[in-house]
Amino acid sequence: MSPKVWLITGCSSGFGGLLVRAALKNGDKVVATARDPKKIDDLKALGAATLALDVCDTEENIRKAVADANAAYGRIDILVNNAAYILEGTVEESSASEVFKIYNTNVFGSLMVARAVLPYMRAQKSGTIANMGSIGGVRGTQGAGLYCSTKFAIAGITESLKSEVAHLGIDAVCIEPGYFRTNFLAPGHRTPTAARIADYDPVMEPIRNIFDTYDRAQPGDPERGAQLIVEILTKSGRVTGKEVPVRVPLGSDAIAFISAKAEETLQTMKEWKDLSSSTDHDDVKN
């Protein structure tokens, strides 16, 4: 199998840098990006090409950065939209500017980069677009509603995209990790809303305490997670011969979390089937 060429966003923290290392170890070529490429000089030293790419930049600048990424090795086989952060606060506490900022990074940025990469993948009739989702995209959680909603959006976009590009030889995958021991829950990555409303303290204080306690105590090993993601996106190693689903859970907690949600959904469908179906026209056969 010939080496793949990766383009990865948000490589200065979280899964980004670990994915770069895992892909290079796999013998692949990587274009690693960050808003400040000096922050990923360690990845450059390992053999990655590095570029400045801010997913919140203008469409023109993002397209130019992607063109430079494509020129680095003459193609892009795998795009990983990894740049994201969590906004900590209730729905009411989240200001309009804070809502726009998290959507701009977590959703609009991923869309912009994907749209910039797709013309190259269409031309070569191959490629994989991987969007980093989350178990938060399966169930909304108090205190993280805006973050969860961005991951719901990412999952929906990925499912639709997969159907749109399959006939072009392109695949789309949404990776949905549980909690991994990265810096994602650390200060600076977990951004609190500026507003604090005392009425919400009974639901927010437990969440803040859980985040603080869970930081650096998450069950997932990020290096093992990055290695599996590489195998998933290159369909190699343990994933050889497997059909990769459009939404892939990552971590034992993700399996438990998503399974519980699926069971609840099925139970709701059973309980509400007759009442919900009563709205059909009389000539509709159930």
pTM to 2 decimal places: 0.94
Per-residue pLDDT for 184 more than 70?
Answer: no
Tell me if 208 is assigned to some domain. Answer: yes
Residue 135's pLDDT band, with cuts at 50, 70 and 90, is: very high
Supply the mean pLDDT for the chain.
94
Helix (H, G, I), strand (E, B) or coil at 219: coil
Per-residue pLDDT for 187 more than 80?
Answer: no
Tell me if 282 is assigned to some domain. Answer: no
Phi/psi of residue 247, nearest 5 degrees: -120, 120
Please say whether the beta carbons of 144 and 87 come within 8 A.
yes
List Cβ neighbours of 214 (8 Å cut-off, separation of 6 or more).
Answer: 179, 185
At 255 the pLDDT is 96
Tell me if 158 is assigned to some domain. Answer: yes
Per-residue pLDDT for 284 more than 80?
Answer: yes
Mean pLDDT of 266-276: 97
Residue 47 gets the label, from left (phi > 0), alpha (psi -120 to 50) or beta, of left
Q: Which of the pair, 67 or 206, is modelled with greater confidence?
A: 67
Residue 281's pLDDT band, with cuts at 50, 70 and 90, is: very high
Per-residue pLDDT for 262 more than 80?
Answer: yes
Percent of the chain scoring above 70 in pLDDT: 94
Tell me if 279 is assigned to some domain. Answer: no
Residue 179 a catalytic site member: no
At 197 the pLDDT is 97
Q: What is the pLDDT of residues 105-118, one digit of tens each?
A: 999 999 999 999 99
At 14 the pLDDT is 82
Tell me if 117 is assigned to some domain. Answer: yes
Q: What sign results for the dihedral spanned by CA atoms 243, 153, 217, 252?
A: negative
Please state the domain count of the chain. Answer: 1
Q: Which of the pair, 144 or 212, is modelled with greater confidence?
A: 144
Mean pLDDT of 23-36: 97
Tell me if 139 is assigned to some domain. Answer: yes
At 215 the pLDDT is 64
Tell me if 281 is assigned to some domain. Answer: no
Domain that holds residue 140: 5-274
Residue 185's pLDDT band, with cuts at 50, 70 and 90, is: low
At 88 the pLDDT is 93
Catalytic residue among 85, 147, 179, 200: 147
Tell me if 92 is assigned to some domain. Answer: yes
Q: What is the pLDDT of residues 40-62, one digit of tens each?
A: 999 999 999 999 999 999 999 99
Query: 261: domain CATH number?
Result: 3.40.50.720
Per-residue pLDDT for 182 more than 90?
Answer: no
At 58 the pLDDT is 97
At 129 the pLDDT is 98
Which residue from 36, 32, 26, 40 is spatially nearest to 6, judged by alpha carbons?
32
